[in-house]
Amino acid sequence: MSPRPAGTRPTLALVAEAAGTSVPTVSKVLRGGTDVSAETRARVMDAVQAVGYMRKPGSKVETAPDDTGPSDFIDLVVTHFEGSWANLVLAGVGREAAAAGLDVVLTLADDPDIDWVSKVLRRRTIGTVVALVDPTSRQFNTLTAAGVPVVLVESQSTPPPGAAKVGVANWDGGRLAAEHLLLLGHRRLGVIAGHARHIYSRARVDGFRAAADTSNLGRAKVSVAYGAWETDRAAAATHELLDADPRITGIFACSDPMALGVYAALAERGLRIPDDVSVVGFDDLPEAHWISPTLTTIRQPTTELGAAAVKLLLDLAKGDDSIVRLQTRMELTTELVARASSGPAPRP
């Protein structure tokens, strides 16, 4: 590949040379064209990343056909549509998009083999909000190279360099859960985490452990099991915790759906909430109000997550670096909501 003169921007021709293909083929890939082989598409995406090709949001890919007018929608890419959390995020995205006169197109990315990036590229979208989906660096750079701004909502792993992200104060939420149980006198504590590889799960556990380890209220023991964000698996993880340490009197579930699994497991063991075991969740989904006893939980502003992501996306789409430079990492606050599922630790 010929060296690029200093001070010049990478071009499609440079990408084509690095990928061993033609400029029209590179253009097809960046427009989500379907008449390109998977092998060629991968080479182009790697070349885009290697040479650092990028165009400004809202501009056209070289050699692309003229657009008929400005785009009037954004993409929302999610791993699932089911469940209260996804619905609340969608509500926030839809509300903020509607306020801007935009529509929302939903794209499901529940299978790693699904080429959701090409689907997005084929649409003349203002930008993409990606919730609980981890774009690879190749996917992220391809979207960026095509001028499609991306905002991540609670990414599962460390975002690619330069990625814009909106999340919540997960570490602080875990700390609040532990401090609440410690103040109630609980010293044998259990945590039902999601996945060890998910950074927001690790942050919640780490915040909980930090509070337990540094508390001046007395020494506390923390045991952790994994419920994979699922109610049934959280129930099994609760049995695992209590089989290993029957003296646990306080359990923190890293999501409200997993807290429902904790409830089920405790009922199977004949343990009462909160008389025998106190339970704290994380989310403050509608289920927290419906279950009996009502669930003490860490409230995250889920609807606001979606709305904030759209606001940041629209700023990114304007292409004004001065607007977005200081807000490409947004973290919304969490707070404890005490209800009936937590109470004083039982006397030994």
Residue at 5 is within a domain: no
Residues 112, 129 share a domain: yes
Number of helices (H), then strands (E), belonging to the chain: the values are: 13, 12
Q: Is residue 341 a part of any domain in this protein?
A: no
In tens, the pLDDT along 121-145 reads 888 788 999 987 877 777 887 887 7
Question: Is the same domain home to 35 and 158?
Answer: no
Q: What integer pLDDT is reported at residue 79 of this predicted model?
A: 83
CATH number at 110 reads 3.40.50.2300
pLDDT of residue 61: 46
Tell me: the pLDDT tens digits for 52-68? 666 655 554 444 444 44
23 and 95 housed in the same domain: no
**In this prediction, what percent of the chain has a pLDDT beyond 70?**
82
Average pLDDT, the chain: 84
Q: What is the pLDDT of residue 57?
A: 54
- What is the pTM for the complete model shown? 0.80
Number of domains in the chain: 3
CA torsion through residues 87, 89, 91, 93, sign: negative
Residues 164 and 198 in one domain: no
pLDDT 10s digits, 297-345: 999 999 999 999 999 999 888 875 555 555 577 899 999 999 999 999 9
The per-residue pLDDT for range 197-212, each reduced to its tens digit, is 899 999 999 999 999 9
**Does residue 30 lie within any of the structural domains?**
yes
Quick one: 158 and 183 in the same domain?
A: no
Residues 208 and 324 in one domain: no
Residue 20 has pLDDT above 90, yes or no: no
What does each C-alpha distance from 190 to 177, 193, 205, 236 come to in angstroms?
11, 10, 10, 13
Q: Is 272's pLDDT higher than 80? A: yes
Q: Does residue 219 sit in the same domain as residue 264?
A: yes
CA atoms within 13 A on the CB side of 161: 2
In the predicted structure, residue 292 carries a pLDDT above the cut 70 = yes
Mean pLDDT of 166-189: 96
Q: Which domain holds residue 129?
A: 73-168+303-332
Residues 269 and 309 in one domain: no
- Specify whether 297 is located in the same domain as 174: yes
Mean pLDDT lowest among 145-154, 263-272, 339-348 = 145-154
